[in-house]
Structure 1
Amino acid sequence: MLMHNPPHPGEVLRELCLEPLGISVTAAAEALGVSRKTLSAVLNGKAGISPEMAIRLSIAFDTSAESWLNQQSQYELWHAEQHRKELNVKRLVAA
């Protein structure tokens, strides 16, 4: 079952991981081994969590990579579902 309008995983990362620890975007990017621009794009919802980023986050915050990818998947699926009626798809049935 889809969550109603799930938050972007970048929002979760900011609110539940970075802010409680008092970590700046610059310091977090350095610790994750990515550029500040890359992390900022994720935090601002301009980029998604890639499998590699999920692994980096799992190492840095002692979480599972799967949890980050699941959040990204739920976010993307919910937004795609908002356009379901616009898709021109016909149901296939056995002859």
Structure 2
Amino acid sequence: MPDSHRDPNREPTHPGAILREDVLPALDLSVTAAAAALGVSRQALHRLLAEDVAMTPEMAVRVGKLCGNGPRVWLAMQQARDLWQAERAMADILARIPTMHAA
């Protein structure tokens, strides 16, 4: 969903949740089978699916190949989530930084 249509108060979905809830069931893959297909350990994939770690560029390349949609969509999901979290964590700091405009 484009940012202009997304509720700015709702945290973007972790890409691991999309894999866990939508992709793996649609592909009829277990975590073990998906990890083998991706060439990663079951534990590494489990950490992503449990939302304990971020989607890395390397994992995005693997997942994008498996799904046939490329890495950019997976990295965009992670970036949206990371930025959302950073903006909230830094709200007090950002409030003190002026926005400058060219004369």
TM more than 0.5: yes
Structure 2 residue matching 1:82: 3-state secondary structure: helix
AA paired with 1:91?
P
| Ranges in structure 1 where 5+ consecutive residues have no aligned partner | none
Query: Identity of paired residues, percent?
Result: 38
- Size of the aligned set, in residue pairs, is 94
- Does residue 75 of the first structure (1) align with residue 53 of the second (2)? no
- Counterpart CA distance in 2 for 1:68 and 1:60 is 12
TM-score, normalised to structure 2, is: 0.79
- Map 1:36-75 → 2, pairs under 5 A: 36-75=42-81
Q: How far has the Cα of 1:28 moved from its partner?
A: 0.4
- Counterpart CA distance in 2 for 1:64 and 1:87 is 36
AA paired with 2:98?
R
Of residues 79-88 and 29-38 in structure 1, the stretch that sits farther from structure 2 once superposed is: 79-88
Structure 2 residue matching 1:59: 3-state secondary structure: helix
- Does residue 19 of the first structure (1) align with residue 25 of the second (2)? yes
TM-score, normalised to structure 1, is: 0.85
AA paired with 1:68?
W
More contact order relative to length (CA 8 Å, sep ≥ 6): 1
Q: Deviations over 1:27-84 (max 9, x none)?
A: 1001000001110111011111111111101111101210000000001111112223
Give the alignment's Cα RMSD to 1 decimal: 1.9
